[in-house]
Homo-oligomer: A and B are copies of this chain.
Amino acid sequence: MVISLRKARTIIRKALEKGREMELKPLSVVVLDAGGHVIAFEREDGAAPGRFAIAHGKAYGSVMLGMAGTAQMQRAEGQAYFMAAVNGVYGGQVVPVPGGVLVRDRKGAVIGAVGVTGDTSDNDAQAALVGIEGAGLVGEI
């Protein structure tokens, strides 16, 4: 199973709606496929210009390691040099904090990841999760 562009749009729309409902700062949302490649991205008006790279880094590390943002953060806090080294081998493309959320199909296979940035990491993750579930998929924060 793959994330279609239609599903990716739904994820983004519902994550942004959740952000507005929670009155979060402007959000940016990226959806990656199972190989870590961008399907779709949107940055809300008023967000800082560099938000693509942050959203991407949260989602990219999740896909490449098969480990969502919360687990990456725990590893980074316990063994900082390991996540630094991981970032080296992935070309500096990993941002190991919540807001990187794995997307699984109904059998549990990873089919991609969503990265949200703009508010606190926990709020970012919450918006991502709502977007994923709104598209009928399963998220892992």
Contact = CB atoms under 8 A, between A and B. Distances in A.
A137 interface: no
Interface in A62-105: 63-67, 76-77, 79-97
A55 B67 CA distance: 16
A94 B52 CA distance: 16
Nearest to A57: B89
Contact of A85 (B36, B57, B89): B57
Number of copies of this kind of chain in the complex: 4
Contact residue range for chain A?
Answer: 35 or more
Interface in A1-60: 2, 4-5, 8-9, 33-45, 47-50, 52-54, 56-57
A77 B81 CA distance: 8
